[in-house]
Amino acid sequence: MTRKRHKTSRFRSRHVAVLVETEDSWGRSVIQGIADYAQQHGSWTLVIDPRDREARPALPEEWAGDGIIVRLGNRRQANQIRRAAAPVVNVDPLMLDEPGLGHVITDDDERARLALAHLRQRGLTRFAYFAPPSYRYSEARGRAFRSAVAAAGFDCQQYKPGYRAGRKIGYAEQQRLVTRWLDSLPKPIGVFAVDAYRGRQLAEICQASGVRVPDEAAIMAGDTDALMCSVSSPPLSSVRLAARRIGHEAAALLDRLMRGRRPPRLPIKIKPLGVISRQSTDVLAIDDNEVVRAVRFIQSQATRGIHVDDVLREVPVSRRVLELQFQHYLGCSPAQYMRRVRLEKAKQLLIQTDMPVAGIAVACGFSNSTRLGVAFRKLFGVSPRLIFRQADTRRPGR
């Protein structure tokens, strides 16, 4: 049967199918970003999260719209959207080799860098990657983390249970395999879990097997799901993805494709917003009491505009000794560590509050927004105002 497409008109509403699941925080934020663009740049009619008779994401029968945004995850889905003969933008890295599509995805290298930097700030020098075999996520996430760890001069252990993706495995067997892996790891160790669901699962197995989190295993999730991170015991630290911006950029790319442009040759990569620190990584894996005292003092007082001399009054060692100890355990100087603590706090406030940049600068120990901006760009590569605009928590519904 030949499908009748909507008549082409510059002013008519675009009919767009959004095949992104609404079950988790990431999917809902992506959809909100798509809706933002649709409202700002013309009249779009969105069909959101349609399902087939088996409750799988799928185009409605006889659908004849103008474009598709999809979290592409399997060959069946790829074949269906190809039959629709409409421009397509994919927002998942699983099938980046699918030709003729536009791709807007999270920058895995930056995700890995943020996760590793957060764990290194806790003094950790042993690392592992936890991702049970699954078709739900790309192996690129693990490769990026292992590469970041290797580039920093450390080793990374990986969970390899000996079965392939697609095999159904029972709860008891999963517990046994993961527990055996945990027992084999050196402690303390920083574990990067592929996503919040697996991070919560790992924390649960740690608790059952007697591995203390975060003292023996500090767990960092590769994305932020509000429910999974908060109900985990302890609550999970996580990388906060720019999901709303991914949705917005995907819609902008689809708009260009619907106007006749070709898909870009390479995926558009969106950097994560930062790290949300919770109890699962609240550890200092440092066996030097003076360094621990100095770090705790900096963490509690850095935003009050302290200097290294203030740290030295708190910790009675010479400046030279303190410098050497920080380089040994944390890979940076006390001043650099202090600056990073201030900037991480500023980033957190930019993402999670309505405070203006000038107010955040003062609250984090900077004399003005210009000084904050210079230091912020040097560390993160972007301006505070860009993070402020990209953050998806400030406006209603975010």
Q: What is the pLDDT of residues 333-360, one digit of tens each?
A: 999 999 989 998 898 888 778 888 899 9
d(CA 77, CA 53): 14
pLDDT score recorded for residue 186: 96
- List CB contacts of 163: < 8 A, sequence separation 6 or more: 133, 169
pLDDT score recorded for residue 353: 81
Indicate whether 1 pLDDT > 70. no
Indicate whether 203 pLDDT > 90. yes
* Full DSSP string of 353-396: ----HHHHHHHTT-SSHHHHHHHHHHHHSS-HHHHHHH-SSSST
Q: What is the pLDDT of residues 151-164, one digit of tens each?
A: 999 999 999 998 88
d(CA 391, CA 34): 15
pLDDT score recorded for residue 146: 98
Q: What is the pLDDT of residues 226-253, one digit of tens each?
A: 899 999 999 999 999 999 999 999 999 9
Architecture of domain 289-390: Orthogonal Bundle (1.10)
* Full DSSP string of 74-128: SHHHHHHHHHHTS-EEE--GGGTT-TT-EEEEE-HHHHHHHHHHHHHTTT---EE
φ/ψ region of 81 (left if φ > 0, alpha if ψ in -120 to 50, else beta) reads alpha
Contact 238, 203 (CB under 8 A): no
> What is the SS3 assignment for 347?
helix
Give the fold, CATH level 3, of 108-240+275-281: Rossmann fold (3.40.50)
Mean pLDDT in residue range 306-317: 92
> Where are the CATH 1.10.10.60 domain residues in the chain?
289-390
Indicate whether 398 pLDDT > 50. no
* Residue that the structure tokens 């910790």 belong to: 315
Structure tokens at 61: 């029968």
Q: What is the pLDDT of residues 83-115, one digit of tens each?
A: 999 999 999 999 999 999 999 999 999 999 999
Structure tokens at 395: 């406006």
Indicate if the alpha-carbon torsion angle 230, 233, 234, 240 is positive or negative. negative
Indicate whether 284 pLDDT > 60. yes
> What is the SS3 assignment for 182?
helix
Query: Lowest-pLDDT range, 54-68, 322-336, 344-358?
Result: 344-358
| Summary mean pLDDT of the chain | 90
d(CA 309, CA 59): 64
d(CA 132, CA 155): 19
Structural class in CATH, domain 14-106+243-273: alpha beta
Full-model pTM? 0.82
